[in-house]
Structure 1
Amino acid sequence: MTESTPTAGQDPAAGGPGVSVPVPAAAGGGPISHAIFRLARLHRMYAGQLLRRIGLHPGQELVMMHLWELGPQRQTDLVRLLDSDAATMTRTVQRLEQAGFVRRRPSPTDKRASLIEPTAASHALRREVEESWSQLEELVAAGLTPDERTEALRTLERLEHNLVQAAADPGCAATEG
């Protein structure tokens, strides 16, 4: 990654070694959040480049991973598993269906529901998806020692935990409307 968050006391507009996007003054109170935003944007961009080669868009591979792992799922279960919303999942499943990677079949236990299942064509993609994710991991973690990789993962899990806790807290300002 060529962007970094300036260190404390450093002029954000001046940037630092390898900084290609200065931190705006308005984001000065949230340098970690700004870095996460930039990192997530770049990660999605590179993931998109790798996935386009195999006919997928970012996010679609996550749906496929769950279907390969768990077998046919109701769309509502996919929404829950991926912490998505119904409209996004509907579009994702429709696109995967149009590409021939999933199909719908009636649920044997609930006449109102259908199950989304991977097709044989999608099973052929599994190895390519796994290789794309391995390439992305190596790109992201290039130059990190095994201990640094472990610590980075631990830190990211802690940040995620903090946000999950905040979202679950009814008094959290981020969830107030």
Structure 2
Amino acid sequence: MNRVRDGERQGREPYRKTVGAHLQHAARLHRIAVARKLATLGLYPGQEQVLKSLADSDSMTMGDLAQALRVRPPTASKTVGRLAAQGLVERRLAIGSGDGRLVMVALTEAGREKASSIDDLWFAAEDEMLADFDPKDVRRLRKLLRRVEMAFGPQDGSADDDEEADAE
């Protein structure tokens, strides 16, 4: 895209007019809204992703969980430790793996209960965010955001690790 930068036309803080700045601000506001809702469940941002990932499978290795979350293994391990302290997940040695160091992570019954309420929370946050949008605009926004994601290509998510660690 070849364009004249807004800064060449307007003197102060031209970055505030960029799509990236608006996207970042909208993402921050969404994250705050979700964090408030998660707090009612006693969860921090990022923890819901662990619970939902584990709810979708019987159990996972720490490596598989980190990959599913697109974070580094130490970040996943730290989050799992916090969830285990709350009694929402449990760690077990992998049976039959031949490697006594391989640890599996699974939801406890309490974790399953929390995981089942997360979808409602996410849908409520999305309903708030998109309340003034008509269905056609929602579809268009979703399509445009997918195109933005594709423009950046596959990412390993490790850039998100510091932000997640700060939130917990």
Bucket of the pairwise TM-score, normalised by the shorter protein: 0.7 to 0.9
2:67 maps to 1:80: yes
Q: Which runs of 5+ in 1 are unaligned?
A: 1-7, 14-23, 169-177
Structure 1 or 2: more helix by fraction: 2
- Residue 128 of structure 1 and its aligned partner are, at CA, apart by 2.0
Alignment of 1:57-72 (within 5 A): 57-72=44-59
- Residue 34 of structure 1 and its aligned partner are, at CA, apart by 0.8
2:137 maps to 1:137: no
The range that moved more, 45-54 or 139-148, is 139-148
Give the one of 27, 31, 44 matched to 1:40.
27
TM-score, length-normalised on structure 2? 0.80
Match of 2:165 in 1: none
Residue type of the alignment partner of 1:73:
M
> Taking structure 1 as reference, are residues 147 and 116 closer, same or farther at Cα in structure 2, changes over 3 Å only?
same
- Residue 87 of structure 1 and its aligned partner are, at CA, apart by 2.2
Divergent runs of 4+, >6 A: none
Q: Partners of 1:85 and 1:142 in 2: how far apart?
A: 35
- Residue 70 of structure 1 and its aligned partner are, at CA, apart by 1.5
Q: SS state of the match for residue 111, structure 1? A: coil
Q: Partners of 2:86 and 2:152 in 1: how far apart?
A: 34
TM-score, length-normalised on structure 1? 0.76
Match of 2:38 in 1: 51
Deviations 1:83-105 (A, max 9, x none): 11122212111111111110000
Q: Partners of 2:143 and 2:36 in 1: how far apart?
A: 27
Q: Partners of 2:84 and 2:149 in 1: how far apart?
A: 31
2:107 maps to 1:118: yes
Q: SS state of the match for residue 22, structure 2? A: helix
2:78 maps to 1:91: yes
> Taking structure 1 as reference, are residues 104 and 139 closer, same or farther at Cα in structure 2, changes over 3 Å only?
same
> Taking structure 1 as reference, are residues 113 and 32 closer, same or farther at Cα in structure 2, changes over 3 Å only?
same
Residue type of the alignment partner of 2:131:
A
2:129 maps to 1:155: no
- Residue 141 of structure 1 and its aligned partner are, at CA, apart by 1.2
Q: SS state of the match for residue 84, structure 1? A: coil
Q: Partners of 1:37 and 1:71 in 2: how far apart?
A: 35
Q: SS state of the match for residue 71, structure 1? A: coil
Question: Percent identity of the aligned residues?
Answer: 26
CA RMSD in angstroms comes to: 2.1
Match of 1:146 in 2: 135
Q: Partners of 1:128 and 1:49 in 2: how far apart?
A: 14
Residue type of the alignment partner of 2:85:
Q
Q: Partners of 1:66 and 1:86 in 2: how far apart?
A: 15
Q: Which runs of 5+ in 2 are unaligned?
A: 1-5, 157-168
